[in-house]
Amino acid sequence: MLASPILSPASCTRSLPTRMPETTFNRRDLPFQPQSDSLSDRFGALHVYVGFFMSVVGAGMLSVPYTLVLVPKWQALAGILFVGVAMACTANALLHAHVHVAARAELETRALGAGSKFVGFPALARRAGGPALGYAVSVVTASGVYGGCVGNIRILRDLTPFMLSLVSDGAANLSENTQQCIRQVILWGLLAVILFPLCMLRDLSALRTTNYLSFALSIYLIGAVVFRAFAGYHLAAANIATSTASMNDDSLVSDSMASDDLNSYSSSGSLDELSLAAGEALNATMAVTATASVQGSDLERLAQAISIYNFAFMMTLNLLPLFRQLLRVEGSCNNNGRRRGDAVRGSTVLTTASPLLTARPHMTRCIFVVSLICVVLYGALGCAADDLYGNAIDGNILLNLQSDPAMKIPLVATYLTVLFTFPLLFLPLRAIVEESLSHTCHSERPSPAVNCSDFEYGRNSSNSQPTSRRFGRLIVVLVLLCSQ
């Protein structure tokens, strides 16, 4: 891709003119707009930044503490910083490539918004290396994103029994088959009622409500783990509770003994010698089991930790769609000024610079700020979880949180965060599949340039979609959701 003359340094965006071609329009074509900016215009940039942050932070952060079991703490913190900076630079390079290709398309067609068809990896790959490279990039990207979606569904499936126990205390008394049936009903109900409508949305801008909610829940989860680490936590007591309850479900005497042990611990702050010995033995067993699962040389464990960080800092997936959303927001704000007569001269509007070039520094700033915030949050979460659970962490911290009686609400926050961030993974997957099917069936139509009388940058004046396309989207969403 870098060898292509389109993306080479010799043809970088500095070669683009600072003044875009004049676009003519008639004053009577301007739709009436109120003089004051709407709230969506004022906070549009904030919506983009929060959406980009939640595109990065998701289920991947749950596995970050496990890396401190794989490698020493200083290597883990250095790896978080290195991968965060590297992924930010990669996202910035992708943004520059998109801006160059899209601005070149606008210059050639003399129409704003003509480069909107280059949103996504497959489109840029086809522009750089032809259809074969575009198909290859589509397959690789779709397979990776699909794996992330399956991982999110697996987390929801694993946490569903915990959520069921919170809702109904008598669920533990039911048979195993009945419990399994109830879990499946709950999971399919979530898919039908919550995930399916969210996955049918047209673009990422419609997810702003769930983005803000997920942002608050993820910050709360990290804060709860850090606070728990500062407050102190006796792992042996939690292990007694979970092991006694799991091994003696049918014994009322054993359950009462476990309850007495926990009550004595909570009231006096200490365990008797027998309970303490049992807890320490179980703690040692968990640590040995987790340590035994860590295999391989130091280099292999470091590579595994880096791969976890790569998934936790996945910035490039929704970068370009969110950049287009930022373009629409800034274009709407600028055009409100034009409608007041600031830039109207006769019957023409002179665009001094492409909106792509003016919005690119804002998105670059967002990329590096989000990367810095994620480095701090991941480092704090990893160190706090390592202080709490140590070598007992195996894969992610879900099992450790479930064994801690004080972490029930953070577990609910984790469940809701994974649930509401799932569409941020699914919508790009759906777009890649739809685009690939469109190219395969030779039914893709070129993206129409934005009408010059429509000042909302990057959006066509006609928002209607053919019925066949809506039906095809329905089939794609159903197949992808049911296959997971």
**Banded model confidence at residue 107, pLDDT cuts 50, 70, 90:** confident
Asked whether 52 and 319 are in contact (CB, 8 A), the reply is yes
Percentage of the chain lying above the pLDDT 90 cut: 31
Domain membership flag for residue 181 = yes
Most confident of 45-54, 255-264, 464-473: 45-54
Q: Is the pLDDT of residue 19 over 60?
A: no
CA distances from 344 to 38, 117, 350 (A): 22, 29, 8
Could you list the residue range(s) of the whole structural domain that residue 397 is in?
40-234+297-342+355-482
Instruction: Please check whether residue 245 lies inside any domain of the structure.
Output: no
Report the CATH number at residue 368.
1.20.1740
The verdict on residue 406 lying in a domain is yes
| For residues 426-431, average pLDDT | 92
Q: What is the 3-state secondary structure (H, E, C) of 88-123?
A: HHHHHHHHHHHHHHHHHHHHHHCCCCHHHHHCCHHH
The verdict on residue 471 lying in a domain is yes
Tokens of 162: 């915990």
Does residue 360 surpass a pLDDT of 60?
Answer: yes
Instruction: Determine if the pTM surpasses 0.85.
Output: no
How far does Cα 110 stand from its chain's mean position? 35
Between residues 203 and 463, which one has the greater pLDDT?
203
Is 252 part of any domain?
A: no
**What band does 298 get if pLDDT is binned at 50, 70 and 90?**
confident
> Which is nearest to 414 in space by CA: 214, 263, 264?
214
> Alpha-carbon distance 183 to 157, whole Å?
8
Contact in structure between 360 and 99 (CB atoms under 8 Å): yes
φ/ψ (deg, to 5) at 403: -80, -5
Our count of domains for the chain comes to 1
**Domain assignment present for 243:** no
> Tokens standing for 323?
């950049």
Q: Is the Cα torsion angle 330, 335, 336, 338 positive or negative in sign?
A: positive
- 249 in any annotated domain: no
Name the least confident of 222-236, 317-331, 332-346: 332-346
Residue 259 lies in a domain: no
